[in-house]
Structure 1
Amino acid sequence: MGDASADSVTLNLLREARDTVKGSPLGVVQTPMIPWGQTSLPPLPVRCNIHIKLENMQKTGSFKIRGVANQFARRPKGGHFVTMSAGNYGKPFAYASQHYGSKGKVVMPETAPLSRSALIQ
Structure 2
Amino acid sequence: MRGSGHRVSTDLVSLVRYALGEADVLVSYPALVDERFEAWLLQQSSVGRSFSQEQAAFLELVKDRIATNLGIEPTELTDPPFSSQGGLGKAKQLFGDELDALLDELTTVLAA
Q: How high is the TM-score relative to the length of structure 2?
A: 0.32
Q: Name the one with the larger helix percent.
A: 2
Rg larger in 1 or in 2? 1
Q: How high is the TM-score relative to the length of structure 1?
A: 0.30
Q: Name the one with the larger strand percent.
A: 1
